[in-house]
Structure 1
Amino acid sequence: MRADRLIRVLFVLQSRESVTAAQLAAELETSVATARRDLEALSMSGVPVYPQPGRGGGWRLLGGARTNLTGLTEPESTALFALLGGARGAATEAASAVQKLLAALPAPFRHSAERAIGSTLADGAAWGDAPRSAPRELHTLQQAISHGRAIQLSYRTHSGIAVTPLGVAARGGHWYLLADPGDGPCMYRVDRIRGVSILDKEASPPSDFDLSSAWADAVAEVESLRGSTAAEVIVEKYAVSAFVSRFGRQASIQDAVGDGRMRIEARAQSAEALAEQLAGWSAAIDVVGPPEVHSALAELGRKLVERYE
């Protein structure tokens, strides 16, 4: 369980002046890559963990070995518990560890930490390419949720959107906010938020609100919109795996057509969007149909010729 492991990472950092990813991996019996991801996750969540490069370097807690759990600020403790959110209701050991951490917090911080637990989800599926770091607005959103406050968003071309934040979720590396503007949950991609401010207005999810269920409904709605147009595509053997991985749920293998090639149905929200996604695969695929996707590909090709001829 990752939440349990992150708690152990924090305790290792508290007990040592510094630790390398390799040393941490040996201590926790994980891979070096996993240890490095855990350290980066703690750092991006707001916990005061930072790398020190060079000979004798490693990862440290701000303040060194003297730092302990009660030395965390309220925003840092909120960020930590948002990161560990899924532990409650999971493995007994992980849930127990979270409860011990809650008990170790200064009393004024516990209410916010309690709210933060369960406000964050991790969805292993992906929409598009993954970003390299968490958006800077994520911490503000977690703070608003933990304090039960409404927020005001500027999103793409719209500003002044007042919503009740319900939770945040990571999907394939991107972060999403699930929030209620007054007529039910809506999904906002965090890296497309142009500005966010916490309002002096109480706003909490309903007592029976379940983030996992609401997130599943939101994802299903987005997937239905993304997949309203389908194309039949013949994919060369060497590209099948990469093609299916890139399109994710919007690709379904139909049958084999010989020589290792596969017939695959690819979907997107429109013929134009599908043509844009398929154009880069032109050397490895043959788009059988429908005609509207052929036309969209031809129009895209015409525009490219006009610009670069």
Structure 2
Amino acid sequence: MRADRLMAVLLLLQRRDRVTAADVARELEVSERTARRDLDALAMAGVPVYSTQGRGGGWRLVGGARTDLSGLTAAEARALFLVAGPASAATPAVRAALRKLVRALPEPFRAQAEAAASAVLTDPQRWGSSRVEPRPPHLLDDLQDAVIRGTQVRLGYADSTGAATERTVHPLGIVAKGPFWYLIADTPAGRRTFRIDRVSTAVPTGDPVHRPAGFDLAASWRAIADEVERRRTPLESRATCAPDGLARLRMILGDRLDVGGPTADGRVEVVIRGYNEYALASELAGLIEWLEVTGPPGVRAHLAAIGAALAARYA
């Protein structure tokens, strides 16, 4: 990410007459020591930047110099704007500044640079309790390039059962969720999601992607992730919760918790999704200080059995 930071520091210098190491540290959410190293690195790389000491001191560009981006190659422009996209770890202010660089790019590069800025999305939440270590799949770069260029791809793919298929898809975006990467694409059978580590081949056809008007990668992924979670946790349990326990429930249950309205006795109605009755009862047993489960009867029966077993062992 250091190249990201150096570009962001340069943009700050161009936007402001003067910056201090504290300004850079606050804007980029790094330490002042790291900010000073980055400023020194710019000077050593030949950027006309200098520092002044004392009151009103800081770092400035010599003569208000500005960076000429006309020498960027198409690949460099795409790489730069991938940094500015939703997957970026930079602050919103830095991402906004990077996107403004589109205006400084040569005309032939602008479309791909803008596409790169919205090509990749990061969803930090893992599926369930997966502990698989992140490892970018070998065809990730090829598929990312197809999204940016807007090129259809002939995709070889093996599903979760190992059945192999081949189809032509319209790549729309890429999502990183926990250790896994997904391609969202339109197909003749409708919109589909492909886990990229299961892609065996990805051959560009040269035909342009038919991108739906108003397509939003983040909104599309939210709908997909919500549907997956509903399938993974088909059971709904109803309960009431003490108000002071809601924060704990949200922390433990995340998106599987839906909060309703207040009850007559001042508690709060909630609905909790789980995999099956026993698994959900086992999970909710540790929350009984705040929670009273009202249904379904199977979950209540499992809770009673768990309570009796605990009482028998620890009474």
TM-score by length of 2: 0.56
Unaligned runs of 5+ residues in structure 1 are 1-5, 17-22, 40-51, 303-309
Q: Bigger shift: 278-287 or 124-133? A: 124-133
**Match 2:100 to one of 84, 97, 100:** 97
Aligned partner of residue 146 in structure 1, secondary structure = helix
**Match 1:199 to one of 200, 203, 221:** 203
1:231 aligns with 2:234: no
Give the whole-Å Cα distance in 1 for the aligned partners of 2:159 and 2:237. 32
TM-score by length of 1: 0.57
1:211 aligns with 2:208: no
Q: Bigger shift: 71-80 or 160-169? A: 71-80
**Which amino acid is 2:271 matched to?**
E
Give the whole-Å Cα distance in 1 for the aligned partners of 2:38 and 2:281. 47
Q: Kindly tell me the number of residue pairs found equivalent between the two proteins.
A: 263
1:74 Cα offset (Å): 5.5
Alpha-carbon RMSD = 5.4
1:58 Cα offset (Å): 5.7
Give the whole-Å Cα distance in 2 for the aligned partners of 1:61 and 1:168. 33
Q: What corresponds to 2:260 in structure 1?
A: 253
Give the whole-Å Cα distance in 2 for the aligned partners of 1:283 and 1:226. 27
Give the whole-Å Cα distance in 2 for the aligned partners of 1:293 and 1:255. 22
Give the whole-Å Cα distance in 1 for the aligned partners of 2:206 and 2:21. 41
**Match 2:183 to one of 177, 187, 204:** 177
1:154 Cα offset (Å): 4.5
**TM-superposition CA deviations, 1:70-119 (whole Å, max 9, x none):** 78775554343234347xxx99x759714235339xx5x65643442433
Give the whole-Å Cα distance in 2 for the aligned partners of 1:300 and 1:157. 36
Aligned partner of residue 105 in structure 2, secondary structure = helix
1:221 to 1:25, Cα distance in 2 relative to 1, 3 A: farther
Give the whole-Å Cα distance in 1 for the aligned partners of 2:131 and 2:79. 20
Whether the aligned pair in 2 keeps the contact of 1:144 and 1:198 (CA below 8 Å) is no
Whether the aligned pair in 1 keeps the contact of 2:249 and 2:257 (CA below 8 Å) is no
Give the whole-Å Cα distance in 2 for the aligned partners of 1:293 and 1:203. 54
Q: What corresponds to 2:271 in structure 1?
A: 265
Give the whole-Å Cα distance in 2 for the aligned partners of 1:120 and 1:183. 23
Aligned identity (percent) is: 26
1:261 to 1:173, Cα distance in 2 relative to 1, 3 A: farther
Whether the aligned pair in 2 keeps the contact of 1:244 and 1:252 (CA below 8 Å) is no
Give the whole-Å Cα distance in 2 for the aligned partners of 1:189 and 1:112. 24
1:94 to 1:233, Cα distance in 2 relative to 1, 3 A: same
